[in-house]
Structure 1
């Protein structure tokens, strides 16, 4: 459990209340990660701005796939669960479950699989990457900007997820996730807060 003290939603005011409002509107509750990251609202907004700068070139679908792959590679239950929930607007539950279990056999395009593989490499050992790692993305039709944005999306997920790990922020389980999907998203990943 995190040592970071945060106000409860009814007690939040000012910037805290502003940052909580979006989650209250869309989720009906304020997840632990929002509470903790609201401690530094400038950093939270900068992260949101980075995501906002990346998504237009690669699209929301590819962004979410890259995010799921990066979060899985670093064992982030919090981000896998949160982005699994967000991805339900892009995939039906059956395909999302397949993606969570093994994206390589989930019926995705070659480009989507290649982008997720790059995200795993960024999250594993980015210092060992070479031009060959991203060349496949160009061969599959991505522009230079899109290649950069795939890598930025993976790196941004590493930044956010690793901060949550370091601050011992417990993962929230969205209550509207069906059990098989919840298990696929969180299962097989190391429990960061057991």
Structure 2
């Protein structure tokens, strides 16, 4: 019998030695598929007609409210100007048409404190001549307002119609004379809020 030869046992290092495998090339990347021309496109959503109508109505309401608020505030300002000017005209009319030769200096001061513009200039220029006339005649006058109303009104200027009952006397007249006169007074609002009279005229001359 022949002896069977067996392979020599391998060492542990040879058993654990890794087997080198042939390198493989990486797989080629496939191109991304192009969008199909038949694929549906995304459409932008348009606001509905109802939303547009509501937006337009809201904007319109805001505009109308703003205009109404402005008109209301303007009307209130006009009412305030009218009231203040009429009250001032009532007082100034009595001051202007009530005078006495004995207290003429005080009269001039009171008139100039309530006058402005052309009225103040004219009165200041003619007050000396007026004083001489009143002193010579011994004239006095008292006045009261019978009726008063604003004819035209702006925020800073008001024309006021004043009906005045005036009683005048002098040294040559035994009985005082009474007369009813109408004047149109133009009042202007100053920066400090005061109302001053810039003109006094009869109604026919004021128009």
Range class of TM-score, shorter chain: under 0.3
> Which structure features the higher share of strand residues?
2
TM-score when normalising by structure 1:
0.22
The two structures have a TM-score, normalised by structure 2, of 0.21
- Between structures 1 and 2, the one with greater helix share: 1
Instruction: Look at both structures and tell me which one has the larger radius of gyration over its CA atoms.
Output: 2
Q: Which has the higher contact order (CA 8 A, sep 6+)?
A: 1
